[in-house]
Every structure is written in structure tokens, then in C-alpha cells.
Amino acid sequence: MQKYITLFVMVLLAVPAFSQEDLQEVKITKKQKGIKKSYTVTANTSVITSKELLKAACCNLAESFETNPSIDVNFSDALTGTKQIKMLGLTSPYLMITEENIPSVRGASQAYGLSFTPGTWIESVQITKGAGSVINGYESISGQINTELLKPLNDIPFFLNAYGSTDSRFELNTHFNKKISDKWATSLFVHGNARVAKNDMNDDGFLDNPLGKQINILNRYQYYDAEKGLVGFVNFRYMNDKKQTGELNFDKDRDRGTTNSWGSEINTERFEVSTKIGYVFKDMPYQSIGFQNAFNSHNQDSYFGLNQYNIKQNSYYSNLIFNSIISNTMHKFSTGLNFSYDEYREFVNINDYSRIDNSVGAFFEYTYDNTDDFSLILGGRVDNHNRLGFFVTPRLHARYNPWKDGVIRFSAGRGKRSANIFAENQQLFASSRTFEILDTNGKIYGLNPEIAWNYGLSFSQKFKIFNQNAEAGIDFYRTDFQNQAVVDLMQSPQQVSFYNLKGNSFANSLQLEFNYELIHNLNLRTAYKYYDIQTDYLTGTFQRPLQAKHRFLGNLEYETNLNNDKQWKFDFTYNWSGKQQLPYTASNPTADQFPDFSPAYAVINAQVTRVFSPVFEVYVGGENIGNYKQEKAILGANDPFGPNFDASVAYAPIFGQMYYAGLRFKIK
């Protein structure tokens, strides 16, 4: 039996070789921690377990990082309500976001993709700071986020989650699971959410949150044969998301395409099929083959006032990976091939930017582990891409434990990507800005590929204070852009320009972390972050707009001991954000200006969960309890078709305090 379990674990781990040790931990540890940081993995990876995901209202993947020090959750704009994330001060396009190691948030789905994975589907999230592995691709620059969904073979037969909040958002999650035979199991996840009422707490005549409806269905099958060493997954997924925003009196049937009142709709439909098969060689648990294939179709139809933006992306991704050893398991390697194909049909008003991108690449990653205090991952890949050309991507990670409970890590690596300037900056359509692309010679909207190097150094130490566990950490990362598709909001409030970087652009990030178990079951997590993110724009060097230089996060969690299966859990999160550079608006009339810098502010969230039994639990919570609101959310709100209208600048919550309640029901 033990052999089968080992086999099974090996197969599961074969493909995400990078996160191997974390996953093993998940299996072994009894009392789960919310965020796990192993001191024996090579990369600076932390694992968010499903327990951590229960700490916040956490309706989807984008919202699940609010208690996490490595990732900053921002407020993307005054209209869509979609939360954007940043790592090391860089937005999600600079991250490699994968779902079970298949790139998921990319291209057309960049702006809203994280909100398309419901929180209850998630088993765990692995966050790697810095360059990351070469196995899944060349695009990651500042980090990698991989989400593992619940596995049909380990799932419970039935799960129900209902949620409602004072901003009139409702959610329903139902999971069904069935073991078809001893080798097959299937899960069906059905998610629906809706925001049904119009809210305008700041009385600017615009909705603070979009009206919305989403239906999201995933059906997955898992196959597992221990004797043959075979494991496989097949997933089918369908998603339909509709959002409507804009002025309160906007009627989409009456006012679309007119200047009666300003409104916007963003409708997205997604269809996805993916398969995964893994084989572990007989009598050789250290050797395996994995083969992944994914096809997805993403179709977004949208308009923002009079701006039309439609994008359809059909993608195919394939990854073949072989894992084995060189003489013994102190020397492991992974090697394989990737293929990707993306067909874009993209229309910005009347301009057609349709194109086909494809790439084929090969990778080799060597891992040395002296089974004691040192390990190293050296990876490289070569790719041939029809727009990025032929290029090499080297990455290095190293770990050293100089003494007990201490770890030093170093990483360095290169990333290269094509910026989807419209999809990634589509909140700017909700403004009177004109879009200017100043370069014409490049292959991607006239621009050159973005290339950056990332270096990082970190140190963590565990120790005891008054006999309670404590941990302190410091890390520093630097991203240096060789080329960047600069998004320039510093020239004119009526324009956004895109051009190839001329001069320097870099992002420095320093993080200090301190975690302490104050008394038994009462845990404190704190982090201070310093960001210095500068870009040479045409009008001078500025900090990247909408990025705070100083941030502070505090999280306090308390849970009572299980008493007849009953339990209380309390969570409190404090997020402070320093002043942020705002886009240039000084040439506007005084009423339609932002100051150069936003004020600092704090947001407080809290939640209480009552576990009545293993079957049933209830939670209530509040977000932004201090009721902080951005003073002026939309520029030129009284003349949305005039020259000064801009709804794209969100540096703080638009909606004030929000309270929610929900329940979870499980049949085991």
C-alpha cells in the first residue's frame, strides 16, 4: 500500500516538480497552516492552503491574496471592480499565472482572468517570488503563481457554499463528486454569482461596482492506476461573465452607442478543455513522463462609452516533460518541449489588430540537492516565437541553510514577453484618453518585446520568543528592464502613449516580514514593503503611477481548540498603503485634477467563522470597516463624454464599508 501511495504522490508531483516538497508537506502535516514556507525548497516559494483562503470573503482567486505578504491586491478601476494583483511591484502580466501548471491568465484574459477562478475550487496556491522555473515558459519576470484545484479522488461527495454581501453580491458554489470506479473519479463544480443592485455610495452618479452575472462550470475526471503507475486528468470548463457599469441611469438597450448617458458592458465567454497524463516507470519512482494539452477559447465583447473593444483568443498549449535522475536522486533533471499557438481577433474601435502567435521551445532544468543544507536549480530553455524570435532563457535558484532554522536564497533569471497593450490596459478605455502607439517598427502593435532580468536575495530565520514560535524574514528583489512597452500616463490627461523604453526602467522591492505566535492559537503576521519602481518617460523619470512606495500588512488570526467538533475562528487584517504617484492631470481645469500623489490610507478587514460541526459552518465579516473611500473616483464625472473624463484611476476603495455572511455545508 505504502508503495502505491508513494507512486501516486510521485505521479502527482512529476509534473509540478518545482513545487514538489511543498505538496508533500501538505499531505503529511496534520494541523494545517495558512501559509507554508518550507526551509528546504530551493525557490522562494510559499504555499497558500485552502485554510488561508477561508480567511477572507475570498470569492475568487484575485481576492484570495489579501492576507498574503508576497502579493499586493490593488483596486483596478472605478468601474469594473476587478482587483488587480502585483508582485514585487509589477502587475500580473509580468507574472506567470498557471492553473495546475497550464498557463491560464494570459493574453486576452489578463485583465479579469483571476476573477474567473472561484475560491472554493482551489486546493492550494504556490507563489514563487523571482524568476521561477523554466518548465512552463519564458514569460514570467517577477514571479509565478500556480493554482491547484481540488482533485476528484480526494474530494468530498458534496459541498455547498452560499454568500451574500451588503454591496448586493451573491454567490452560490456547489460541488458534486463521485467515485466512478476504483480508478476513476469525477467532480462537477458549479459556480454562480451576481450583483443585482446599483450602488453609488460616493454620489458621483456612477456605479461603484459593476452589475454582474457569472456562471462558471467545471467538470473534471481523474484516472489513477497504481499498478501501472498511470495518472490522468480531463477537464471541461465553461464560463460566461457579464458586467455592466457606468452611470446609474444608463440603460444598455436604450443608451448604448449614444451620448445620452455613459455606460459600459464587458461580456466574456470562455470554453476550455485540458488533459494531463503522467506515467511513472515501473520500479523507478524517480523517473516519469508527463504530457499536458490545453485548448481554450476566450471571447470578450465590450464597450466603454463610445469605445468599442472586442477580443477573441483561441489558444492551444502543450507541454511534454520527462523527469529523471543522473546517477542518484541528489541530481535530478526535467526536460521537455512546449508548444503554444494563439489566434487573436482583436478590434479596437475600427482598428483590426488580429494576429497569430506561435512558439515552440525546449527546456532543461537540473536540480542538485545534497539532501542536507544546499540545493540548486539551474534551468534553461530555447524558444522560437514568430514575433519574439529565437531566444534563450536562463534561470537559477539556490538555497543554503547556514545554521538550524535559517535559510538563504538567491535567484536570477530572464523573462521575455509580448505586451498585449490593449487587453492589459483596458481600464483606460473608460476615459477620454486617446491611445497613441509611438513606435512602428516592432512586431507587436509596432512595439518590441519586453525583456527583463530579475535578481533576488532572501533570508529567513525561525526562532523562539518566550517559548513561542517566531519567524523573521527579509528579501530584496530587483527587476531590470532591457526593453519595456512603456504605458505613459505622465504626459497628458487626454492621452495614453505606448512606446519602447528609452532609458532606464527598474523595480526594486524590499520586504521585511515578522510572524509570531503571541499565545497558543493566536498568530500574528506582519510585513513591511518598500517599492522603488522608476521608469524613464518622455517627460522625465517618475515612480510608476498607482504604486505605493511603502506598504504595511498586519494579520491576526485566532482559533479556539476543537470542542466537540465545534470551533471559533477570528481573523483581522490591516493593510496600510502609503502615498502613490498619480497620473499627470495638472493641465486639466482645477476641478478635474488629481494631486501629484494620493493620500496614504488604511483598510481594515475582519471575519468570524463559527464551525458547528464538520458538516456545517457559518461566517460573517466586514471589508474596509474604517470606511475609507477614494475622495474623487472619476474625473469629469459630470461630463463623461467631455475631454477630462477618466474613470481609470483607482488608488483606494471606491465602495465604502461592506459586510458579508456566508455558509458552508459539506457531506463527507
State the residues that interact with other proteins by CB under 8 A. Answer: 283-286, 325, 327-330, 370-372
DSSP 150: P
- 436-445 burial, b for 16+ CB within 10 Å, e for fewer? ebebeebbbb
Strands 550-559 and 567-577: antiparallel
Cβ-based nearer residue to other proteins, 281 or 612 = 281
Cβ-based nearer residue to other proteins, 373 or 439 = 373
Cβ-based nearer residue to other proteins, 182 or 283 = 283
Cβ-based nearer residue to other proteins, 181 or 328 = 328
Residue 405 C-beta: closest distance to other proteins, Å? 13
Q: How far is CA 23 from the centre of its chain?
A: 19
Cβ-based nearer residue to other proteins, 2 or 440 = 2
Name 279's Cβ contacts closer than 8 Å, sequence gap at least 6.
11, 228, 229, 230, 231, 288, 289, 290
Is residue 402 packed enough to be buried (19+ CB in 10 Å), middle (13-18) or exposed (0-12)?
exposed
Cβ-based nearer residue to other proteins, 253 or 372 = 372
Residue 377 C-beta: closest distance to other proteins, Å? 19
Residue 395 C-beta: closest distance to other proteins, Å? 26
Cβ-based nearer residue to other proteins, 330 or 408 = 330
Strand order in the sheet with 35-37: 35-37, 45-49, 122-129, 143-149, 95-99, 102-103
How many other C-beta atoms lie within 10 A of the C-beta of residue 179? Answer: 14
Residue 8 C-beta: closest distance to other proteins, Å? 16
Rounded CA Rg of the chain:
24
Residue 392 C-beta: closest distance to other proteins, Å? 31
Q: C-alpha cell of 280?
A: 511513472
Residue 410 C-beta: closest distance to other proteins, Å? 23
Cβ-based nearer residue to other proteins, 14 or 649 = 14
Cβ-based nearer residue to other proteins, 215 or 325 = 325
Angle at 76 between CA 71 and CA 77, to 5 degrees: 165
Question: Measured between alpha carbons, how far is 145 from 416 in angstroms, rounded to an integer?
Answer: 17
Q: C-alpha cell of 67?
A: 492576507
Distances (CA, A) of 667 to 149, 177, 188, 518, 616: 19, 10, 15, 35, 9
Return the closest-CA partner of residue 328 out of 362, 285, 363.
285
Total count of residues recorded for the chain: 668
Residue 536 C-beta: closest distance to other proteins, Å? 51
Residue 452 C-beta: closest distance to other proteins, Å? 38
Q: C-alpha cell of 148?
A: 491547484
Residue 283 C-beta: closest distance to other proteins, Å? 4
On the CB side of 359, CA atoms within 13 Å amount to 23
Residue 372 C-beta: closest distance to other proteins, Å? 5
Name 612's Cβ contacts closer than 8 Å, sequence gap at least 6.
566, 618
Question: Measured between alpha carbons, how far is 236 from 233 in angstroms, rounded to an integer?
Answer: 10
Cβ-based nearer residue to other proteins, 287 or 426 = 287
Distances (CA, A) of 260 to 208, 250, 267: 20, 8, 22
- 606-633 burial, b for 16+ CB within 10 Å, e for fewer? bbbbebeeeeebebebbbbbeebbbebb
Q: C-alpha cell of 354?
A: 488580429
Q: C-alpha cell of 396?
A: 537559477
Residue 284 C-beta: closest distance to other proteins, Å? 5
In three-state form (DSSP H/G/I as H, E/B as E, the rest C), the secondary structure along 240-289 is: EEEEEEEECCCCHHHHCCCCCCCEEEEEEEEEEEEEEEEEECCCCCCCEE
Residue 665 C-beta: closest distance to other proteins, Å? 38
Residue 329 C-beta: closest distance to other proteins, Å? 5
Cβ-based nearer residue to other proteins, 373 or 536 = 373
State the DSSP H helix or E strand holding residue 576, giving kind and residue range, or none if neither.
Answer: strand 567-577
Question: Measured between alpha carbons, how far is 568 from 574 in angstroms, rounded to an integer?
Answer: 20
Cβ-based nearer residue to other proteins, 3 or 668 = 3
Cβ-based nearer residue to other proteins, 203 or 372 = 372
Cβ-based nearer residue to other proteins, 273 or 284 = 284
Residue 623 C-beta: closest distance to other proteins, Å? 44
Return the closest-CA partner of residue 289 out of 320, 245, 322, 253.
322
Cβ-based nearer residue to other proteins, 6 or 434 = 6
Q: C-alpha cell of 667?
A: 457531506
Residue 3 C-beta: closest distance to other proteins, Å? 9
